[in-house]
Amino acid sequence: MNEQTNEDDHGYRVLFLLRLKPGTAEEFLHAYEKVRWEVASLPGHRVDQVCQSTEDPDDWLITSEWHSAADFLEWERSPGHRELAAPMLACVVERRSVRFTVRRETRVEE
């Protein structure tokens, strides 16, 4: 087991809580597929995940982890951000963004 708790490398995590228009899940996933590798190539991006609720198929979560808040904010404020996100947001009826600094991480390496 390898426990990682490097306090100099906290990271920054953004949670996007989304409620999709009924029947748009496949359209949403298609739009996500079109942008995910472009976002993954951005400076400071670590990982993201798209998750669908097991209780309500119209509730979704995107987690996005970055090296720093500055890295994420640079991307969020860039001219291409809204354009890339627009096809996904066309499927969304309600959204909320929550941001966190990662304070500790425990990871088991296999």
Does some domain include residue 17?
yes
Q: d(Cα 19, Cα 6) in Å, to the nearest integer?
A: 35
Number of domain units in the chain = 1
Q: How confident is the model at residue 3 (pLDDT cuts 50, 70, 90)?
A: very low
Contacts of 102 (CB under 8 A, 6+ apart): 10, 11, 12, 13, 65
Does some domain include residue 65?
yes
Q: What is the pTM of this model?
A: 0.85
Does some domain include residue 5?
no
Does some domain include residue 77?
yes
Give 57-109 pLDDT, tens digit per residue.
999 999 999 999 999 999 999 988 999 999 999 999 999 999 999 998 888 88
Whole domain around residue 91: which residue ranges? 12-99
pLDDT(51) > 60: yes
pLDDT(56) > 70: yes
Phi (first) and psi of residue 73, to 5 degrees = -65, -35
Does some domain include residue 31?
yes
Q: Indicate which CATH number applies to the domain containing 85.
A: 3.30.70.100
Judged by DSSP in three states, 69 sits in helix
Q: d(Cα 84, Cα 53) in Å, to the nearest integer?
A: 24
Give 20-46 pLDDT, tens digit per residue.
999 999 999 999 999 999 999 999 999
